[in-house]
């Protein structure tokens, strides 16, 4: 080095640069922070900070009757809130030993698979956005909108759905809802095909995604990965298959798996799952059409202790009025016991660990949030990669701040 260059003292010794990615970086799509130590453009270490939107749901749930906990679950993975709602209802039904009619299961399957499609749709198209391709995102967004209209038709809300009740649904699906589902089934395959045409064999996208943030099956299992991220590493673990709920065992579908566990495989697995979900919805619609007589119209189980009676009856019948009052005021004692139930959320195994001491509210509820568990592998996955890879890996993992922070 020539003598006439003056550098601040210590700057020669420090070989690396510290970079803050987040908490409000456009690529985090949520509030969490990655502190990245860079050598040039190469990542030598990373550390993550979460908890910016922690809302103490587990604590709040200890003081709420069951039906008031459903809206809390909406706000975990808010890209697929209906799956969380259904998971919660199923957990309560397991504890309370409630059997739901066949039709309710099929309706639930339809809703859960629609939610899975919207979640994967967002994740994959956002991955495009983060690697410089905005078009795909805007193109598929109109079909997420259509799914949100379906939710709206069923439960009245769009993002945080609070859909369904213990025992079934608050009201039957309207004809408009079924028409919109049919429309989605008819139009969406062409859209998904077009989306795949834009990305899957796109040279720029492939070069960004292939080899970015790989993880071996062994490491993924050790880290507690579940869902598409685990399947991308080659493990065919899917809660819908190993512990079927809502009659998933009656459906015929494949579990797509990858091999290298890199960002590209995660993208492909999610795309594959969207096709499978479409097929599941079609099968469920067929099964609904095959139901006869009373089975074809029922939309909730007969559980007066937990399922609100129709408003008309509340005003005219004493028994319905009593149940209505007891449910709303949270005056129902539930059986004591402890139960763990999990569903295949869009991000992986979404588990609910529920301890009841026989009181009116849960003694303890713990949400097993897949996102929180697999995000800790991020530092290991991006170590040695380029800074630009860190962005693609982050979006391919589908990190949802609401789910991480509970």
Partner 1 sequence: MALTNEYIKEKLVEKFGDQVTDFEEPYGLLTFRSDKDLNLKVLNFLVEEDTLQFRFLTDICGVHYPDHKGQEIAVVYHLHNLKENVRVRYKVFASVAQPDVYTATGLFAGANWMERETYDFYGVNFVGHPNLKRILNVEEMDYFPMRKEYPLEDQSRIDKDDEMFGRAGF
Task: Report the distance separating Cα 107 and Cα 154, nearest Å.
Answer: 11
Least gap, CB of 64 to partner 1 (angstroms): 9
For residue 209, report the phi and psi dihedrals to the nearest 5 degrees.
-95, -35
CB of 2 to partner 1, least distance (A): 44
Q: What is the CA radius of gyration of the chain?
A: 23
CB 47 within 8 A of CB 146: no
Region of 51-59, 153-161, 265-273, 295-303 interacting with partner 1 (CB under 8 A): 51-59
- What span, in angstroms and rounded, lies between the C-alpha atoms of 392 and 210? 10
Shortest separation between residue 225's beta carbon and partner 1, angstroms: 8
Closer residue to partner 1 (CB): 202 or 361: 361
Determine, following the binding rule CB under 8 A, whether residue 321 of this chain makes contact with partner 1: no
Return the DSSP state at 248.
G
| 298, two tokens | 């029922």
Site for partner 1 contains 99 (CB under 8 A): no
Tell me: does residue 326 bind partner 1 (CB under 8 A).
no
Nearer to partner 1, 210 or 355 (CB): 355
359 binds partner 1 (CB under 8 A): no
Could you say whether residue 219 binds partner 1 (CB under 8 A)?
yes
Give the C-alpha separation, 95 to 285, whole Å: 29
- Asked if 62 interacts with partner 1 (CB under 8 A), we say yes
**224 lies in the site for partner 1, by CB under 8 A:** yes
For partner 1, which is the closer residue by CB, 184 or 374? 374
CB 393 within 8 A of CB 213: yes
Residue 223 found at the interface with partner 1 (CB under 8 A): yes
Nearest residue (CB) to partner 1, 264 versus 375:
375
191 versus 373: smaller Cβ distance to partner 1: 373
Residues 6+ apart with CB under 8 A from 14: none
Considering only 94, 183, 247, 326, the residue that binds partner 1 (CB under 8 A) is: 94
Angle, nearest 10°, between helix axes 387-396 and 102-130?
170
Question: Measured between alpha carbons, how far is residue 206 from residues 1, 210, 384 in Å?
Answer: 41, 6, 19
Closest approach of partner 1 to the CB of residue 142, in Å = 36
Which helix (DSSP H) or strand (DSSP E) does residue 272 occupy? helix 263-290
- Sign of the torsion angle spanned by Cα atoms 141, 146, 152, 155: negative
Interaction of residue 39 with partner 1, rule CB under 8 A: no
Stretch that binds partner 1, among 133-141, 154-162, 316-324, 360-368 (CB under 8 A): 360-368
DSSP label of 106: H
Q: Could you tell me how far CA 276 lies from the centroid of its own chain? A: 16
CB of 353 to partner 1, least distance (A): 6
Residues near partner 1, by CB under 8 A: 50-51, 54, 56, 58-60, 62-63, 94-95, 219, 221-225, 235, 237, 242-243, 337-340, 342, 349, 351, 353, 355, 363-364, 366, 368, 372-377, 405-406
């Amino acid at each position: 080095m020539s003598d006439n260059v003056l550098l601040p003292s210590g700057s020669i010794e420090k070989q690396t640069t510290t970079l803050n990615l987040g908490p409000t970086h456009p690529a985090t799509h949520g509030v969490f922070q990655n502190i990245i130590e860079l050598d040039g453009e190469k990542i030598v270490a990373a550390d993550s900070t979460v908890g910016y939107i922690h809302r103490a749901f587990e604590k709040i749930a200890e003081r709420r009757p069951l039906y008031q906990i459903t809206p809390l679950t909406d706000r975990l993975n808010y890209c697929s809130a209906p799956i969380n709602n259904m998971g919660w209802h199923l957990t309560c039904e397991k504890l309370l030993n409630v059997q739901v009619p066949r039709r309710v299961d099929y309706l639930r399957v339809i809703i859960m698979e629609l939610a899975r499609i919207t979640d994967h749709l967002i994740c994959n198209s956002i991955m495009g956005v983060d690697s410089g391709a905005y078009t795909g995102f805007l193109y598929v967004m109109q079909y997420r909108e259509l799914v949100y209209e379906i939710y709206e038709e069923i439960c009245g809300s769009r993002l945080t759905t609070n859909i369904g009740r213990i025992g079934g649904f608050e009201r039957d699906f309207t004809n408009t809802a079924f028409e919109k589902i049919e429309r989605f089934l008819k139009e969406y395959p062409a859209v998904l095909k077009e989306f795949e045409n834009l990305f899957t064999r796109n040279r720029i996208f492939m070069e960004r995604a292939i080899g970015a943030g790989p993880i071996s099956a062994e490491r993924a299992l050790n880290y507690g990965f579940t869902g598409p991220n685990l399947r991308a590493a080659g493990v065919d673990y899917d809660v819908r298959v190993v512990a079927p709920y809502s009659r998933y065992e009656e459906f015929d579908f494949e579990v797509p798996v990858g091999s290298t566990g890199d960002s590209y495989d995660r993208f492909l697995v999610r795309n594959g799952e969207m096709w499978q979900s479409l097929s599941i919805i079609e099968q469920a619609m067929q099964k609904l059409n095959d139901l006869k007589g009373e089975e074809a119209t029922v939309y909730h189980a007969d559980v007066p202790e937990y399922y609100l009676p129709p408003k008309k009856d509340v005003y005219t019948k004493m028994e319905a009025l009593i149940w209505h009052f007891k449910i709303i005021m949270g005056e129902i004692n539930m059986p004591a016991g402890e139960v763990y139930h999990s569903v295949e959320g869009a991000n992986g195994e979404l588990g609910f660990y529920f301890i009841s001491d026989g009181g009116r509210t849960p003694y303890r509820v713990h949400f097993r949030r897949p996102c929180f568990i697999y995000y800790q592998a991020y530092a290991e996955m991006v170590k040695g990669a380029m800074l630009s890879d860190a962005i693609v890996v982050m979006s391919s993992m589908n990190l949802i701040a609401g789910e991480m922070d509970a």
